[in-house]
């Protein structure tokens, strides 16, 4: 543990998109990208920060969804939940291969490969310094993994939701389309809503605002970015009350 550095947060909820795991590949899990994320994760653990993770399933399910036109929405959502379990298992395996204790808790009952989600057990794992990876979303269709991140973050008493993306933060407009777009260092929930900024989906955003749970959007691909966020250095965009 790095006793010299003092993190700003004791417990975090890290939201990883499935797309972030595939790197430049068109689908699946890129092993080099996965290894990079585990190394970033280790910097948080070295600071003594307790880490919960919610992972998406887009890297697996997006390809399936292309051929699923006309599929019932609830069925598609359950398939997406299973994709998140696969990603969670890959994260857990990479953690263990790097000497990090990790547990997968699934909102769907798949006891052969993951613990069921039990809040008290998740809290105990976190207190013991284990990484807890929350899989299968909320266990309900029509709910995104963004909503899961907000919900699990509130349930386990996280100090902040860190949304790990491929962009440096939240911009005034899409920087790919508008070269004059500038990045916010911080912004309030009300300002983000008023400016129609797509921070998270509406349900997740409303839950974070209601619970006073700040959100930080940052680029997980930048080396050392997670550590800088945890130490309160200039990195990403903070959304707060």
121 assigned ligand-binding residue: no
Q: Is 13 helix (H, G, I), strand (E, B) or coil?
A: strand
How many CB atoms sit inside 10 A of residue 175's CB? 14
17 assigned ligand-binding residue: yes
45 assigned ligand-binding residue: no
241 assigned ligand-binding residue: no
58 assigned ligand-binding residue: yes
46 assigned ligand-binding residue: no
Q: Which residue has the tokens 């508008």?
A: 178
182 assigned ligand-binding residue: no
Residue 156: how many CA atoms within 13 Å on its side-chain side?
A: 35
- What is each CA distance from 3 to 7, 46, 105, 233, in whole angstroms? 10, 9, 30, 17
DSSP code at position 99: T
142 assigned ligand-binding residue: yes
99 assigned ligand-binding residue: no
140 assigned ligand-binding residue: yes
172 assigned ligand-binding residue: no
221 assigned ligand-binding residue: no
169 assigned ligand-binding residue: no
18 assigned ligand-binding residue: yes
How many CB atoms sit inside 10 A of residue 201's CB? 14
Beta strands at 131-135 and 237-240: parallel, antiparallel or unpaired: unpaired
Distance in angstroms (rounded) separating the CA atoms of residues 70 and 85: 24
Q: Is 26 helix (H, G, I), strand (E, B) or coil?
A: coil
237 assigned ligand-binding residue: no
Burial, 230: exposed, middle or buried (Cβ in 10 Å; 0-12, 13-18, 19+)?
buried
Distance in angstroms (rounded) separating the CA atoms of residues 166 and 220: 7
143 assigned ligand-binding residue: yes
For 121, the token pair is 């057990």
Distance in angstroms (rounded) separating the CA atoms of residues 61 and 5: 39
Question: Residue positions in the annotated binding site?
Answer: 15-18, 57-58, 62, 77, 138-145, 165, 171, 174
Question: Residue positions in the annotated binding site for UMP?
Answer: 57, 77, 138-145
Question: Residue positions in the annotated binding site for ATP?
Answer: 15-18, 58, 62, 165, 171, 174
């Amino acid at each position: 543990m790095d006793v010299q550095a003092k993190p700003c947060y004791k417990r975090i909820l890290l939201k990883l998109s499935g797309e972030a795991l595939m790197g430049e590949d068109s689908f699946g899990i890129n092993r080099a990208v996965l290894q990079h994320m585990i190394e970033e994760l280790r910097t948080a653990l070295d600071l003594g920060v307790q880490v919960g993770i919610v992972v998406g399933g887009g890297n697996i399910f997006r390809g399936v969804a292309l051929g699923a036109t006309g599929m019932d929405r609830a069925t598609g959502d359950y398939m997406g939940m299973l994709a998140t379990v696969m990603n969670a298992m890959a994260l857990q395996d990479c953690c263990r291969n790097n000497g990090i204790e990790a547990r997968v808790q699934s909102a769907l009952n798949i006891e052969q490969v993951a613990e069921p989600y039990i809040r008290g057990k998740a809290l105990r794992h976190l207190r013991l310094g284990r990484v807890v990876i929350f899989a299968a979303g909320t266990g309900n269709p029509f709910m995104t993994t963004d909503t899961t991140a907000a919900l699990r973050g509130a349930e386990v008493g996280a100090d902040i939701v860190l949304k790990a993306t491929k962009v440096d933060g939240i911009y005034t407009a899409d920087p790919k389309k508008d070269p004059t777009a500038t990045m916010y260092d911080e912004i309030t929930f009300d300002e983000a809503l008023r400016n129609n900024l797509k921070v998270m989906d509406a349900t997740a955003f409303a839950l974070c605002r209601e619970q006073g749970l700040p959100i930080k959007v940052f680029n997980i691909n930048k080396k050392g970015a997670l550590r800088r966020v945890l130490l309160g250095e200039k990195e990403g965009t903070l959304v707060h009350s």
